[in-house]
Chain A
């Protein structure tokens, strides 16, 4: 594909990849949904860049990256800003701003923003990252090696094309503006609180394990990746270690392997697993986990289905407020082309 470059990756940082809202619908073929781990962040960034929610952006991990824009465009960052600057001038997450050809976006390394450390950042660019649709999505499936840019993580020197922007020249050049970023609601101790429904095998665990799941403090270990967030803490045990047959897993599923240390599955996780599922992080809180800092503390809070649905409603309400705010401010809200499946937030 010889489309002209819209941006160049000067430094990808730890892991940068093209992601949209994912490719649900193919799990029974063993194909994971993938997509941006924080669909809320990507959605907001896209709206601020004048894109439909499902446009492809970049998922950046732990800062340390540099991107040069080759054409005048408009961008928005969401998630942790990692001290982001555009040609040395600071910019903020959840801001929409014009970019001139040749300007360089820089995210500092993780240590630079240690006080309010996060993990990932999502970048939307007007028009979206233009890569071929594969099975209905532009997301990179890193494990299977397809989708995104050549089916792989971005490397230094990669040039990415942009789609046709929905913004006209005046909108493109408009002064920067922003929206209220969603609140990860970290507790007083800085711990990320995730709401969790008991999983299918919850009752198989010892009482001590069940109590520790809710009462304990968990550390997010650096072995975490797009497939799973690995936690460290109380050793979770079942009363009897019965063998399990392969059964469906979804992002948010908390699996307990024989080590007793739970793994919360993320977007790139396999579609079926054979480990007991002690719980499932509710959909409305998955984005908090995608942004939780490595080595940071996590707490798991038990909720039921009604509370999970109320939390999802709250998220829809926030997104609808964002959309209304943008319309009131005279910003465009492009026609949505929501991806099929459960990850769409379009109202």
Chain B
């Protein structure tokens, strides 16, 4: 792990982006989470927002000067353990194919695998939540088997049903809510992914480890 490579950029007068060079790796992302946890303890830091390979710190410039914050980041960074946070293990039951996963056939065609094989490999994966974004509780996950990568649909859907499980490029994820979306839908879970009234409004958090469990499958 090279040390001096964390780059800092202002995002307006009240946010600081800390960015690592590509490619994103789990080890780098774990240090991002560790920095996020540390920075939340600092005076003037109001919110931390992990991205893919980067972290935005939202701060109150009245309480802390941006230069002081930059120095704090740069002095904390080399001391952060790469081990990072221990994510929880979460199982997501999925009904694959059929009406729940209308693009399963398209993913099979693109990958040259049978639909059953796509399901087998997707549900065999060990996924990690890198960050939440796009929608409340929408998890960007790493760990998709490379052979399952499938480009987004040319025509995005106007309304992807809530709880749909999809593949978009080299990523897989779950739509927590009805939303427009271009990912290939291969299944659907029965679990609510977002409940604004709950103490923990999102089922997934950055750092969680996810497994998809086959609940049913229709070719």
Contact = CB atoms under 8 A, between A and B. Distances in A.
Interface of A: 24-31, 134-135, 141, 143-147, 197, 199-200, 245-250, 252-253, 270-272, 277, 280-283, 305, 308-309, 312, 340-342
22 contacts: A24-B47, A27-B47, A31-B196, A134-B196, A134-B197, A147-B196, A200-B10, A200-B19, A245-B51, A246-B52, A246-B131, A247-B54, A248-B15, A270-B133, A271-B132, A280-B12, A282-B12, A283-B13, A305-B13, A312-B61, A342-B47, A342-B58
Contact of A30 (B11, B46, B54, B137): B137
B136 A250 contact: no
B54 A248 contact: yes
Contacts, number: 138
Interface of B: 9-15, 17, 19, 22, 24, 36, 46-56, 58, 60-61, 66, 131-138, 140, 177-179, 194, 196-197, 201-202, 205-206
Contacts of A250: 11-12, 14-15, 56, 58
A270 B134 CA distance: 5
B46 A253 contact: no
A197 B13 contact: yes
B11 A253 contact: yes
A135 B196 contact: yes
A292 B146 CA distance: 47
Contacts of A246: 51-52, 131, 133, 140
A270 B135 contact: yes
Nearest to A28: B49
B24 to A, nearest CB: 6
B180 to A, nearest CB: 10
A90 B136 CA distance: 42
Contact of B52 (A27, A245, A305, A308): A245
B46 A25 contact: yes
Nearest to B200: A29
Given A29-B202, A246-B52, A248-B51, A199 B133 contact: no
A11 to B, nearest CB: 27
B11 A312 contact: no
B217 to A, nearest CB: 29
A197 B66 CA distance: 14
Given A29-B136, A247-B54, A250-B58, A308 B13 contact: yes
Contacts of A252: 12
Given A135-B196, A248-B11, A30 B36 contact: no
Contacts of A27: 47, 49, 58
A121 B22 CA distance: 44
Nearest to B24: A245
A276 to B, nearest CB: 12
B53 A245 contact: yes
Nearest to B133: A272
A103 B131 CA distance: 50
A247 B51 CA distance: 4
